[in-house]
Amino acid sequence: MTTINEGLGKSGQMATALAQGIDVLDLEQTVTFTLYKRVVLPADGFVFWVRAETLNPSALPNTAAVNTVTPNQTGSVKSDAPYFQARGSLHHTTINRQDPEDSFSVNRMIFTSKDAVDNLAAIAPDSLWLGLTNGYRYAFSSRSMWYRQAGLYHYSGDAVYPTLSTQIVENPAQLNVTDRVVSNSLPIWLGLNKFFPIYPSYLVPDNIEPPYASVHIGEDDTFPMTSGATHDATGSRWQLAKDTVRVVTYGVRNDTIMDWLDYVNDYTFAHPDVLGVMNSPIPRDAKRGQTEISAIAQRKVITIEASYYQSRLQSLARQLIENAFISNFLTPTLELHV
């Protein structure tokens, strides 16, 4: 007869039967996961993932989020081992996908293990564990379908899409840190961070707490203001452009957001050849709640019509790179956990 203790947890008959099934399916298969560290280009906040064991003291990029490191700051990074192995069963599903600009296969990976994989469950905004199987690199975005009596752990995620493969870097030498990625006014806004950190939209670090702001400039939010580009005597290309900029803040109260708007206004007067404001922006209170705590976040939204010279941004980006890099960055301390 099955006792209460045997019917619960991993010692139960259900867990035992399922574990035996996993042993048959995985054929003692192991998956090797390699550690990659988050690298942020200080000029425009673009995120790359660089193989952790290749980082060295002479690497100019740093693994901190944009706007969180001061110039010439020193320090060290302590991280897990650059790789680990986990035993389990890997299920692979392929779905063909066709979009207007590309066609590719979505490779859905589900890894089932009899033991919790602590590294995959840990929340580390600057670290990413990538598995490699049959040429596919993949990471897991969720742990799902967990049932205590079954005693199994399921981790699921997609293999790296082809269009995102450029963001995975095996060697820092392959990463161009002197040329910004974006073509809009984002680098200017990332530098206006006197009152709170500012991040690019979709690239806000995981699970950070307010106050902070995100800046969104969509693909349809950039317009030319002249009929064509002009080339000066040095051959440089420049053109007057306009962006519709959406700034969203969290944890910022009324007085602070008013001070920030005045700060932006003062910047446009001090640097009229870099940035101009074409509308009269005001903060709007937005609602974002959570049912579990019956409260709403301190969320504000500001829409700004900004004008700028794109050629001037190239110069500004170089200045931001020179000011944002850490001049002395120590090698990460690697600890092996088996």
Model confidence pLDDT, tens digit, residues 47-63: 889 988 887 544 444 44
Report the pLDDT value the prediction gives residue 32, as an integer from 0 to 100.
Answer: 84
Q: Among 36, 39, 66, 33, which Cα is nearest to 54's? A: 36
> Which residues have a Cβ under 8 Å from the Cβ of 208 and sit 6 or more positions away?
65, 125
pLDDT tens-digit map of 141-172: 665 554 454 456 777 888 888 888 888 988 88
Residue 325: CB atoms within 10 Å: 17
User: In this structure, are residues 325 and 316 in contact, taking their beta carbons and an 8 Å threshold?
Assistant: no
116-125, 131-140, 326-335: lowest mean pLDDT where? Answer: 326-335
Q: Categorize the per-residue pLDDT at 176 as very low, low, confident or very high, splitting at 50, 70 and 90.
A: confident
User: In this structure, are residues 169 and 48 in contact, taking their beta carbons and an 8 Å threshold?
Assistant: yes
H helices of 143-273, in order, are 186-190, 254-270
In the block, tokens 């066709």 appear at 98
User: Six-digit token pair at 143?
Assistant: 């742990």
Report the pLDDT value the prediction gives residue 276, as an integer from 0 to 100.
Answer: 94
Convert 113-138 into a string of H (helix), E (strand) and C (coil). Answer: ECCCCHHHHCCCCCEEEEEEECCEEE
Q: How far apart are CA 80 and CA 13, in angstroms?
A: 35
6 has pLDDT over 50: no
Q: How far apart are CA 27 and CA 47, in angstroms?
A: 37
Report the pLDDT value the prediction gives residue 27, as an integer from 0 to 100.
Answer: 52
Q: Categorize the per-residue pLDDT at 179 as very low, low, confident or very high, splitting at 50, 70 and 90.
A: confident
With the C-alpha atoms ordered 86, 92, 97, 103, is the resulting torsion angle positive or negative?
Answer: positive
Q: What is the DSSP letter of 296?
A: E
286 has pLDDT over 90: yes
Give 96 or 311, the one with higher predicted confidence. 96
Q: Is 159 helix (H, G, I), strand (E, B) or coil?
A: strand
256 has pLDDT over 90: yes
* Average model confidence (pLDDT) across the chain: 75
Q: Which helix (H) or strand (E) holds 215?
A: strand 212-216
Q: Categorize the per-residue pLDDT at 20 as very low, low, confident or very high, splitting at 50, 70 and 90.
A: low
Q: Categorize the per-residue pLDDT at 312 as very low, low, confident or very high, splitting at 50, 70 and 90.
A: low
72 has pLDDT over 50: no
Rounded (5°) CA angle 300-306-312: 130
Domain ranges of the chain: 9-175, 186-324
Give 169 or 262, the one with higher predicted confidence. 262
Q: State mean pLDDT over 274-285.
A: 94
Q: Categorize the per-residue pLDDT at 81 as very low, low, confident or very high, splitting at 50, 70 and 90.
A: low
The pTM of the full predicted model, rounded to 2 decimals, is 0.71
> Which residues have a Cβ under 8 Å from the Cβ of 182 and sit 6 or more positions away?
44, 46
User: In this structure, are residues 186 and 44 in contact, taking their beta carbons and an 8 Å threshold?
Assistant: yes
84-88, 168-172, 191-195, 250-254: lowest mean pLDDT where? Answer: 84-88
Please state, in angstroms and as integers, the Cα–Cα distance from residue 59 to each residue in 56, 206, 326, following that order.
6, 24, 9
Report the pLDDT value the prediction gives residue 188, as an integer from 0 to 100.
Answer: 92
Q: Among 308, 289, 309, 306, which Cα is nearest to 298's? A: 289
Residues in the chain: 338
Rounded (5°) CA angle 168-177-65: 70
Please give the share of the chain, as a percent, with pLDDT higher than 70: 69
H helices of 193-291, in order, are 254-270
Q: Is 76 helix (H, G, I), strand (E, B) or coil?
A: coil
User: In this structure, are residues 36 and 51 in contact, taking their beta carbons and an 8 Å threshold?
Assistant: yes
